Amino acid sequence: MNKAELVDAIADKTGVTKKEADAVLSAVIETIVESVAAGNKVALVGFGSFEKRHRQAREGRNPKTGEAMTIAATSVPAFSAGKAFKEKVAPAKVEPKAKAKGKK
């Protein structure tokens, strides 16, 4: 699903116009990006959380030459899915109960 399809789905579910849905979605995305860039964590209960994570400098290899090189430390955006989101994507499997031995 791309942004246009998401805007259409929001408009259908909420009854607002596509223009209004696009404005709200754009504002939400922009606010999340600005907040995470500033070092704040954005937590949406049931959906997940966005945060800025720091990656330490590390040694890597140039894939062309195989030469060792240092990869600089950096900050990256990260998303952690919430429990409800994880359950919706991959429902927990219910294991059948084992029958008790010796009882009838």
Question: Looking only at Cα atoms, what is the longest distance across the chain?
Answer: 70
Between strands 42-44 and 74-81, the pairing is: unpaired
Sequence letter at residue 62: N
> CA 29, CA 75: separation in Å to the nearest integer?
19
> CA 99, CA 79: separation in Å to the nearest integer?
42
Helix (H/G/I), strand (E/B), else coil: 36? helix
Q: Is the pTM of this model over 0.95?
A: no
Residue with the two structure tokens 């259409």? 8
pLDDT digit of tens for each residue in the chain (104 aa)?
999 999 999 999 999 999 999 999 999 999 999 999 999 999 999 999 999 999 999 999 999 999 999 999 999 999 999 999 999 999 877 777 766 666 55
